[in-house]
Amino acid sequence: MYKRQPSDRPMPGERDALSWWLSDPRVPQRLPANLREVWRDPGSREALADWLHRFKDSEAGAEIGGALRTGRARREAGFRVRVGGSGLPLVGAMDVVWRSTGAAGLWHVRDYKITLPSGAPDELYRSQLAFYALAVRELAERASEKGAGGGKTGLTKQNFEAVDVGLIFLREGGLIGSRRSFPRDFEWDGLRSRVLEAARGAALGDWPARTDRCRECPWAGNCPGRRRGRAPRASE
C-alpha cells in the first residue's frame, strides 16, 4: 500500500516494524486524498492493522516478504507491452511480482484484494490474472530476445517456464484465491486474441451490457447498461 519499506526499528512497546509503520504520523501525507479520512477513523485503522498483521504472519506474507528481502520482487510493477506483434500497447501494474529461486524461469504474480472471497467477481478477477500472466510471458520473451532488462518488472534474460498467479484476500488474513499456473506450452495465442479483442471492443465502444452479472459487478450501481436492462442485486 505504501511506497517505502517499513522501518526495521520498532518503537518501544510495539510488537514489530509493521506496528511502528502503522503508527507513523506521516502516513496520511502519503495517502491519496480520498483515503485520508478513512485513515483518520480509528475503527478503519484498527481493521487495516489487523488485516496486515495476519497477512504478514501468513504463508503468503512470508513468501512475499522473503522475495522482497532478497531483492527478487517488485511491488506495484508497472508494465507496457505490445501484444502479438499487433502494435497495440497494453499497460497495467502488478501489485507484486517475483522470480522463484528454486526453479529457473518460474515467475509469481499476486494481486491484493480487500473484498471478501464470497463477494468477489470471479470471472473479472480470473481475466485480470490471465492478463497479468500474458504480460509476464510477453515481457520475458522480449527480454530474452533482446538480452536486456525488462523494465520495472525486473524481468531479465532467461528462459520462461511458467507464471503462477493468484489473489490475496487481505480481510481473510492473506488467503490465496483463484490461483493458477500458466506454463510455457499454454495456448498463448488464444489468450492474446482474447485480450486484443477485449481491448478493441473497449476502445471502439462495442461493449454490450452483461446484465446477467450485475449481482457480482462492483460497478453495477453506476452502469448505464444496468439501468436500461436492470437486474436486481442480492441486497435489493
> Running DSSP on this structure, what letter comes out for residue 5?
P
pLDDT of residue 233: 43
Q: Quote the number of domains for the chain.
A: 2
Residue type, 79: F
Q: Residue 109 CB: number of other CB atoms within 10 A? A: 21
pLDDT of residue 235: 41
Q: Is 126 within 8 Å of 133 (Cβ atoms)? A: no
Q: CA-CA distance, 172 to 112, in Å (whole number)?
A: 11
Residue type, 201: G
Residues of the chain with pLDDT under 70: 1-16, 85-86, 119-120, 143-158, 206-207, 226-236
Per the DSSP assignment, residues forming a β-bridge with 91 are 80
Asked if residue 228 is part of any domain, the answer here is no
Q: Is 162 within 8 Å of 180 (Cβ atoms)? A: no
Q: Tell me how many helices (H) and strands (E) the chain has.
A: 8, 5
Q: Residue 78 CB: number of other CB atoms within 10 A? A: 12
- Identify whether residues 80 and 9 lie together within a single domain: no
* Domain end (from 57, 81, 104): 57
pLDDT of residue 94: 95
The pTM for the full model equals: 0.76
Asked if residue 229 is part of any domain, the answer here is no
- Identify whether residues 7 and 75 lie together within a single domain: no
> Cell digits for 130?
490471465
